[in-house]
Structure 1
């Protein structure tokens, strides 16, 4: 039987709060106290800068971004600057990783499969970049860090989000990059379906068996000795959307 991937939907979470939770879960996973875990959530408007971010990637004055309610955070993930906001599905897989390139390729396969289920043809980025593209533009970004053999950070899939904030930066270091979303591809309002499909496809790409775990239960497990999550009243095994 395949190992489990615990999948938890957190709703809309401030970036700093989600990062603190990632750190706790990463520590628990590295210590072997919990199973591989995938956090699915949305963020309020925020730009995050990866370790390769350059000065010109946020070309406008800080006040411009602040006036529009967009926070800015430095992170230790790979890649450069990107945007997160409502209507974008963010996934943080916190899993044991062997070869990093194979792990990234698995996430790419999962996202392509999610989009295919929505009737959208997509492909991984060309060599030198990590993300997913359609003919209309970049629809998903990937940026990770592996520490102590366990991944952090992850992917962001544009579902039904405002794309304008991408035009105020150089997303992933690309000048004037075209960005897309499921809404732009003619599939608006699909967050519930997409997040359910994402959990299933990431588990499948990583050869794991999906198990849904509530956010409350996951937070408790990340702070306690290892034990399996309690069964919910509804079936929570591998769920096909």
Structure 2
């Protein structure tokens, strides 16, 4: 059975973890590391993916930076999204060779991981075609945006970037952008749905458990 190592990193600046992801992609490609699942929170950040449209940033970068929000152009798929305290960000850095390098199936697997984790809290998450992510009715609770890196040493894709699950997120920050370029529908959080603060450690435990179930791999702690 394949393994993945779980790293709980706390609150980490965005650029720091982006650099970590690139390093883990290289190590996995060279056979120097197992698959990794990084679980963390970011300070207030807007990330602009490869599918970014300028009109979905409602204000200037200078305005955001004056509000203490970093704006970063990155290499994942998708449009603009928000990261901030109270949001659980997961970066699975997985080699997909043994899973057939199915990029579409990988996105559905990430959605399934989150759907199963939410079920533990009696939240009925689901999918909403044609969008990627996890929804509760007509509101989005988790965004997904990934990159598939072609291995140089290992054949197949190695993933990075990942998902952002709104746990205790301050949803007002989403009002400063058009999240993922979707105007018709809103966003929500576990806190908003349950009417209480949610324990982040418990959410992480459920994410790890459902990752084991969906991928059929065993979780371990970093060496």
TM-score over 0.5 (shorter chain):
yes
Q: Is the 8 A contact 1:116 1:122 kept in 2?
A: yes
TM-score of the pair, normalised by structure 2? 0.92
CA distance in 1, matches of 2:19, 2:217: 25
| Partner residue, 2:58 | 59
Higher strand share: 2
| Partner residue, 1:92 | 91
Matched, 1:191 2:200: yes
Q: Is the 8 A contact 2:127 2:135 kept in 1?
A: yes
3-state SS, counterpart of residue 209 of structure 2: helix
3-state SS, counterpart of residue 7 of structure 1: strand
| 1:59-114 superposed Cα distances (whole Å, 9 cap, x missing partner) | 21223211211000001000000000000000000001211011111111110001
Which aligned pairs between 1:133-144 and structure 2 lie closer than 5 A? 133-135=135-137, 137-144=139-146
List 4+ stretches of structure 1 deviating above 6 A: none
| Partner residue, 2:75 | 76
Number of aligned residue pairs: give it. Answer: 212
3-state SS, counterpart of residue 130 of structure 1: strand
Give, in angstroms, the shift of residue 196 of structure 1. Answer: 1.3
| Partner residue, 1:132 | 134
CA distance in 2, matches of 1:104, 1:92: 13
Matched, 1:119 2:127: no
* Structure 2, unaligned runs of 5 or more: 151-156
| Alignment RMSD (CA, Å) | 1.2
Q: Is the 8 A contact 2:38 2:92 kept in 1?
A: yes
CA distance in 2, matches of 1:135, 1:178: 10
Matched, 1:166 2:174: yes
Closer/same/farther in 2, CA of residues 176 and 167 from structure 1, 3 Å limit: farther
3-state SS, counterpart of residue 192 of structure 2: coil
Which aligned pairs between 1:1-241 and structure 2 lie closer than 5 A? 2-97=1-96, 98-127=101-130, 129-135=131-137, 137-148=139-150, 149-175=157-183, 177-186=185-194, 187-213=196-222, 229=223
CA distance in 2, matches of 1:130, 1:89: 17
| 1:185-207 superposed Cα distances (whole Å, 9 cap, x missing partner) | 11523211001111121122111
Give, in angstroms, the shift of residue 45 of structure 1. Answer: 0.3
Q: Is the 8 A contact 2:91 2:163 kept in 1?
A: yes
CA distance in 1, matches of 2:91, 2:208: 11
| Partner residue, 1:234 | none
